[in-house]
Amino acid sequence: MNSLKYFITQVTSRLLFFATLFGFPALGSAQSLPSAQIWLVPLNATSIAGPPHRISPAHGYHNQPHFSPDSTVLYFTSEQADGQTDIWGYSMTERSLAAVNHSPESEYSPTPIPGHNAVSVIRVEPDQRQRLWRIELEDGQASLLLPNVEPVGYHTWFSGHELALFILGESFTLHTARVGPEPSVEVYKNIGRTLRRHPETGAVLFVDKNRVPWRVASIDTNTGKVTGEFDLFPGSEDFEIDQAGNYWTGNGSKLYLRTRLQNQWMLAADFSEFGIDNISRLAASPDGTWLALVSSP
């Protein structure tokens, strides 16, 4: 690939990443980050157990929450004063915030790595490459996980060394990969940004955008078989599945639930009185006691 074509490809991928990340046409700079806040909602199984409370700063971009395996820390992407994003953690026991890392680069989508005291992140490198990195929780040291896979937009782990990836391009595609130098393998085209692992079957869950309305679908990573599960609300590409197999999604100020006994979305709560709107990303704690949600103006 000649240098001009490589440059154009990198710029196009960068803009696609920001457009998908933030939900609007991107300016391609850190200053274009929209306002987004993270709220915690207490749960009692499938019931809302109390009012939501905001745990991120009131201004700036704070997004992409993921709980630690023991449910004691909520990791998320947090915009700093200079417009850069770092990874922060909210202690569920101490109710306090602390930085996981400070680096010259911006990081996104902190995701605990199964069986390791580390999180994986999408790092926007100085040359604008977007690759998957590992950050040690003990000391914040970073190392590259997939040197030959890019541009990565989102990811989820289905074992301690295997991942499903949202890869940017002319069409957003689902890939699988193993940690190391090998390239990823494309398995499906035209997907949404949410990737999850089913807690019981181990299948990778994703948003299939090849039909309208978009739907949650699953892929067996052993056989490659894709199964359509159910529809999302129009225009939505965010959902969560908790450890009991219940699905959650948002629509405006409303939170919806779909249990294994139901064949439709049921209203769980309307948070409009708290100023919550445009609910997007969600994360359920492994112990089933909390749901984190992202709200934007």
Domain harbouring 289, CATH code: 2.120.10.30
Mean pLDDT of the chain: 90
pLDDT tops 50 at residue 10: no
Find the range with the poorest average confidence among 4-8, 64-68, 213-217: 4-8
| Mean pLDDT (whole number) for 122-126 | 96
* Cα gap 231→212, rounded to integer Å: 9
| Mean pLDDT (whole number) for 130-152 | 96
Both tokens assigned to 211? 């039909």
Number of other CB atoms surrounding residue 153 within 10 Å: 24
Q: Residue 287, class by beta-carbon neighbours within 10 Å (0-12 exposed, 13-18 middle, 19+ buried)?
A: middle
85 has which bridge partners? 79
pLDDT tens track for 89-106:
999 999 999 999 989 999
Q: Is 74 left (phi over 0), alpha (psi -120 to 50) or beta?
A: beta
Provide the edge-to-edge strand list for the sheet that holds 118-124. 106-112, 118-124, 130-136, 142-144
pLDDT tens track for 189-219:
999 999 999 999 999 999 999 999 999 999 9
pLDDT tens track for 222-269:
899 999 999 999 999 999 999 999 999 999 999 999 998 888 999 999
- pLDDT of the residue at 4: 33
Find the range with the poorest average confidence among 15-19, 47-51, 72-76, 257-261: 15-19
DSSP states of the chain: --HHHHHHHHHHHHHHHHHHHHSS---SSGGGPPPBEEEEEEEETTEE-S--EE-S-SSSBEEEEEE-TTSSEEEEEEE-TTS-EEEEEEETTTTEEEES---SSEEEEEEEPTTSSEEEEEEE-TTS-EEEEEEETTT--EEES-TT---EEEEEESSSSEEEEEE-SSS-EEEEEESSSSPPEEEEESEEEEEEE-TTT-PEEEEE-SSSS-EEEEE-TTT--EEEEEEPSTT----EE-TTS-EEEEETTEEEEE-TT-SS-EEEEE-GGGT--S---EEE-TTSSEEEEEE--
* Cα gap 285→15, rounded to integer Å: 32
Which residue segment(s) compose the domain that 250 sits in? 3-295
Find the range with the poorest average confidence among 28-37, 60-69, 141-150, 201-210: 28-37
Cβ 58 vs Cβ 72: under 8 Å: no
- pLDDT of the residue at 5: 36
Quote the number of domains for the chain: 1
pLDDT tops 50 at residue 221: yes
Cβ 157 vs Cβ 163: under 8 Å: yes
Number of other CB atoms surrounding residue 79 within 10 Å: 23
Contacts of 4 (CB under 8 A, 6+ apart): none
One-letter amino acid for residue 115 of the chain: G
One-letter amino acid for residue 223 of the chain: T
